[in-house]
Amino acid sequence: MMKEVEQMNEAGITEDATLLLVKGVGANSSKEENASYVKGLSIAIMTVFQKYEVVKLRCIGKGAIGNAVYAHAQANIELAKQGLVLVAMPMYKTVALEGVGDRTAIVLELTAIEEDVDENGNK
């Protein structure tokens, strides 16, 4: 497993412009708040993909993984209109979080393949 110490600025932005840090569902979050977060994440996925042609989603915890998968699916629905499908390659990464210590993250690296799909992302 690769260990990475992430360098972040005060806003929590990493130096890797293709890396999105995915949050899980908070105990006090409503379904509407989480749906809004996932929608925003799907837009961020499409924005980063259009600029860099690759997106990395770093998830710590099952809630974050679930949000990443939902956002990936939503982004695919939109990108299908362009004949593209994002595929995910999952990997483990150990990250050192300030004040918390080492944590194991799952990173989903999204890249595109061209596919004949309908407007819902179905073949």
Residue 119 falls inside a structural domain: no
pLDDT tens for residues 51-94? 999 999 999 999 999 999 999 999 999 998 888 999 999 999 99
Q: Which residues pair with 88 in a beta bridge?
A: 110
Q: What is the pLDDT of residues 85-123, one digit of tens each?
A: 999 999 999 988 888 889 999 999 999 987 776 666 566
Q: How many structural domains compose the chain?
A: 1
Range of the structural domain that residue 63 is part of: 2-8+16-114
Q: Locate tokens 């300030």: which residue?
A: 98
Measured distance CA(38)–CA(87) in Å, rounded = 18
Residue 78 lies in a domain: yes
Q: Residue 69: which CATH number? A: 3.30.110.20
**Is the residue at 123 inside a domain?**
no
Decide if 121 is inside a domain.
no
Q: Is residue 122 part of a domain?
A: no
Q: How many CA atoms lie within 13 A of 42 on its CB side?
A: 19
